[in-house]
Structure 1
Amino acid sequence: MLFVRPARLADLDAIAQMARTAQPVLHSLPPDRAALEARLALSEDSFRAEVDYPGEEFYLFVLEEASTGKLVGTSSLVAAAGYAEPFYAFRNDALIHASRELHVNRKIHALTMSHELTGKSRLAGFYIEPALRGEAAAHLMSRARMMYVAMNRRRFTPEVFSLLLGVTDEAGVSPFWEAVGRKFFGRDFKDIEMASGGRSRTFIAEVMPAYPLYVPLLPEAAQRVLGEPDPSALLAYEIHLEEGFEPDRYVDIFDAGPVLTAQVDRTASVAGNGTRTVTQASDAIGNINTQGAAYLVASERAGEFRCALATLPAAAREAALDAPTRAALGVNAGDAVRCAPLYRAHAEAENESAAGDAS
């Protein structure tokens, strides 16, 4: 039985191990114990804080195996990216070069440094043990964050985005970095990745090119990876699409990885979210049955957020949960939980059913 909860300082050792294991290295999950400890402390403060609008809050979540207490994944939410300093990305632009005399009119693809994403809420730091990748557990670890957003709208902005890893080779070398970043920094991608602080460091504006980069002038290898996720990020990419995120006009300023954005109201976890009353599952097997569909089920009893998966019937007012799931969520029969279909197809089918009932 897996469930998602807020991380605690007591989780430091497990999270530090995940940070060391993650490949390629994630700037949002640095393999530095002191930095991780500071983030855990900030996360605990953020969850406890009374928030009326998004600010410098940072929320770190972990995926826990209920029977053993082992942590097998982590992810995070940034309330306002670049709260202290601008958040930088490359914006995809099309520049027109024309000459009436030569009868030339060409549209040229260019990349322009931008901080337009500054202040928007951001999903970050997704990691899950390799053995669980491709399973529903990965969806739970990633999308539980949006369930938290759905239950705490004032803490986040109306639009959210996620920056995914760009393509690197087995040695961690980024073709885009070699073509662009190295020319200005003269250092390895991994070094600057860790120093970037989530793409919000003054040195980015000081060192990176202030003028547009003309894409046709870049090496073919760098052009080919523009906006492409690294193979290790394909699962996260697909989960974001399932949630309702879409590729936007931005790419990462270092490795040209894709930036995905979504309007919170249109995400699957928010648009398909509804309240149900907990009841005890009648079957001995609990939530593993052939009736119904997979749902994200979240609770926030006594201020402690929890999220797990359960199989529930569509368009019902009750959530029949087995004992392990109720324990993981910290709820009892009669308590209210928030539920959203795990897969968009199930959400659309439920909406069609509800519309039919209404008519």
Structure 2
Amino acid sequence: MLFVRPARLSDLDAIAHMARTAQPVLHSLPHDRAALEARIALSEDSFRADVDFPGEEFYLFVLEDSATGKLVGTSSIVAAAGYAEPFYAFRNDALIHASRELHVNRKIHALTMSHELTGKSRLAGFYIDPALRGDAAAHLMSRARMMYVAMNRRRFTPEVFSLLLGVTDDAGVSPFWEAVGRKFFGRDFKDIEMASGGRSRTFIAEVMPAYPIYVPLLPEDAQRVLGEPDPSTLLAYEIHLEEGFETDRYVDIFDAGPVLTAQVDRTASVAGNQTRTVRESANAVDGSAWLVASQQGGEFRCALATLPATPLNVSHRGAHAVPLDAPLDAATRAALNVQDGEAVRCAPLYRPDEDGQDNEDASMGEAQ
């Protein structure tokens, strides 16, 4: 069984391997072993810390196969993007150029350097082992982060965002970078991607243009990729939409990839979150897929389980039934480190359609 838990220093070798081999590159996980070890230590300290408001905390999660102990995925949350240095993105503005004499009134899009996302919580570092089949593992690895946010609201801001990889060709060349970034940096896209360390470096403000870039002046191939996710990230893109993220007016400063934002209260993992009581179950349960999370002993765990649409026990408040039970088999209870009678937090894996049925077809496709 696959389950999500916080990373530990004992995971260093496995995480270092994922950091080296991940495609696209994981900017939140440095390739240098000593730096990566410090990053994991920061994550451990962040999970243990008593936090009243978001700051420099960094939360690193891993996806583990309980049968083998192998780590097959990773993802992270930055409590406050740009905590030490501003987080930069391009803001897509619409400027009006008008002349009464010429009867001209044109709306022109322009990209302006902005650090307005600084201080907001950010989802980052999503990676899944390519050998895993199906989309369930990707949904679990990505959305477990929002389950942790739902259970620890004080640690994060009311609005969260995620930056997805923009369009690149088979050689890793970004049309937008060639049209804009290279003109100012004079270096390859991959070099600056690694050096940027998550878009929070002062050299970005020092080198990138301080004045608006008029979109119509860019080459057509650069204009076409504005706000478009790379095909390799379509699964992650769709998972974010399923969670409740929306495209915003910001794009990445290097490859023009989309910035997705969400109000935490409106996300599926928070709006649909409910507390249930664990019940031992030896048999398969008819129902639908749910994210089930626990925080027993202070350690967060999250896994997928099938829960009944009509729970075994319900209490009634007027005409509404409130589900109470979460029948879980032994493997799931062990993965979550819970026992019969303990409380878990649950959220539907898929948003229900208007007819009440789970919309699984809508969930196909991140890379950060």
Q: Specify if TM > 0.5.
A: yes
Matches within 5 A, 1:1-359: 1-132=1-132, 134-283=134-283, 286=284, 289=285, 291-314=286-309, 316-345=323-352, 349=356
Give the drift of 1:161.
Answer: 0.2
The structure-2 alpha-carbon separation of the partners of 1:22 and 1:133, relative to structure 1 and needing over 3 Å to count, comes to farther
Task: Name the aligned partner's letter for residue 241 of structure 1.
Answer: L
Task: Name the aligned partner's letter for residue 313 of structure 1.
Answer: P
Q: Report the TM-score when normalising by structure 2.
A: 0.92
The answer to whether the Cα contact below 8 Å between 2:282 and 2:330 also exists between their aligned partners in 1 is no
C-alpha distance in 1, partners of 2:78/2:355? 29
User: Which has the higher mean CA deviation after the structures are superposed, 151-160 or 98-107?
Assistant: 98-107
Task: Name the aligned partner's letter for residue 135 of structure 2.
Answer: E
Task: Name the aligned partner's letter for residue 339 of structure 1.
Answer: C
Helix, strand or coil at the partner of 1:124 = strand
C-alpha distance in 2, partners of 1:124/1:146? 12
The structure-2 alpha-carbon separation of the partners of 1:94 and 1:346, relative to structure 1 and needing over 3 Å to count, comes to closer
Helix, strand or coil at the partner of 2:300 = strand
Aligned length: 346
Alpha-carbon displacement from aligned partner over 1:311-350 (angstroms, at most 9, x marks no partner): 0013531000000100000000000000000001279838
Is the helix fraction higher in 1 or 2?
Answer: 1
The answer to whether the Cα contact below 8 Å between 1:276 and 1:319 also exists between their aligned partners in 2 is yes
The answer to whether the Cα contact below 8 Å between 1:123 and 1:160 also exists between their aligned partners in 2 is yes
Task: Name the aligned partner's letter for residue 346 of structure 2.
Answer: C
Helix, strand or coil at the partner of 2:131 = helix
Alpha-carbon displacement from aligned partner over 1:259-278 (angstroms, at most 9, x marks no partner): 00000000000000000000
The structure-2 alpha-carbon separation of the partners of 1:350 and 1:278, relative to structure 1 and needing over 3 Å to count, comes to farther
The answer to whether the Cα contact below 8 Å between 1:174 and 1:189 also exists between their aligned partners in 2 is yes
C-alpha distance in 2, partners of 1:252/1:30? 20
Give the drift of 1:101.
Answer: 1.3
Give the drift of 1:29.
Answer: 2.9
Give the drift of 1:20.
Answer: 1.5
C-alpha distance in 1, partners of 2:217/2:300? 49
The structure-2 alpha-carbon separation of the partners of 1:133 and 1:221, relative to structure 1 and needing over 3 Å to count, comes to farther
The answer to whether the Cα contact below 8 Å between 1:24 and 1:172 also exists between their aligned partners in 2 is no
C-alpha distance in 2, partners of 1:201/1:325? 42
Give the drift of 1:170.
Answer: 1.4
Give the drift of 1:133.
Answer: 5.9
Q: Report the TM-score when normalising by structure 1.
A: 0.94
